Amino acid sequence: MQPVQVADRVWFVQGQSALGSAANRNFISNAGFVVTDAGVVVVDALGSPALAEALIAAIRKITPQPVTHVIVTHYHADHIYGLQAFQAQGARILAHAAAREYLHSDAAQQRLDASRRDLAPWIDAATRMVSADDWLAGDRDLTLGGVRIEIRHVGPSHTPEDLVVHLPQQKVLFAGDLVFRARIPFVGRADSRQWIRALDRLLAFNAASIVPGHGPLSHAAREDMLLTRDYLRHLRAAMGTAARNMDPFDAAYKAADWSRFEKLPLFGAANRMNAYNTYLLMEQEAP
């Protein structure tokens, strides 16, 4: 795990463009950290306790300052299974309150059970879901060691609890999973209509650098956000027409033109599922 410097005081580590597996330790998402004179603020905790411990070790090579806070952009497994390692170090965990419903849901427990089976030994019986210390009801500003950190709620989008982290002095934006770079997004049960609106809001930050939830660092904010937005729009257009016409999903999927996106990493693994979930969403939105 090799941190890459984004700007003054700001670093990130990049996960693989792959599905989580025992071979990659579930290192499929990004995380970042901000070094201040009064402690380190981490953004997201990676997909296993071992990965979080490796990140802590990497941070210690850069600064002797302790990790004081961890900001969770959203409660998906590949971003939170490392939280217990940071909690053990005494870090304070911040997340949006909308995540509490998922945290205590059967779906979260079922995902953890499956991860213990599929991602062993990195996820095992000792791996647990960790609650936030501060459940945010909305936006929050945090100033630590002279560094201003703006935490903004932009959900419901990818998830109900989506947070982004903006550093106005460094012009860096940690976008969480609202931005997937150089790969197909994971849409899941996202509110894609709100996600598109949230991307327009992110563009207004005018950040010089964006750390996406997945994929390499971006210095072309508009281009990369527009790729995610265009993909979501394409899903909604293709599946929305089918839902309104009550066309069968299989026929609609086969008829859709995926040529712009089919060469992106994880298209084969994610696109059909994204389309199906969007089809179901558009059925509910249809008048």
Q: What type of residue sits at position 227? A: L
The closest of 100, 145, 121, 196 to 10, measured between CA atoms, is: 145
CATH of domain 4-220: 3.60.15.10
Tens place of pLDDT per residue across the chain (287 aa):
899 999 999 999 999 988 899 999 999 999 999 999 999 999 999 999 999 999 999 999 999 999 999 999 999 999 999 999 999 999 999 999 999 999 999 999 999 999 999 999 999 999 999 999 999 999 999 999 999 999 999 989 999 999 999 999 999 999 999 998 878 888 988 889 999 999 988 988 989 999 999 999 998 878 888 888 999 999 999 999 999 899 999 999 999 999 999 999 889 999 999 999 999 998 888 55
Task: Indicate the domain borders of the chain.
Answer: 4-220
Kind plus residue range of the DSSP H or E element containing 12: strand 10-13
Using the 8-state DSSP alphabet, how is residue 172 labeled?
Answer: E
Using the 8-state DSSP alphabet, how is residue 218 labeled?
Answer: B
Is residue 201 within 8 A of residue 154, CB to CB? The reply is yes
C-alpha to C-alpha distance for 192 and 10, rounded to whole angstroms = 30
Sheet with 140-144, strands from edge to edge, namely 140-144, 147-153, 163-167, 172-180, 209-214
Token readout for 265 is 């990493």
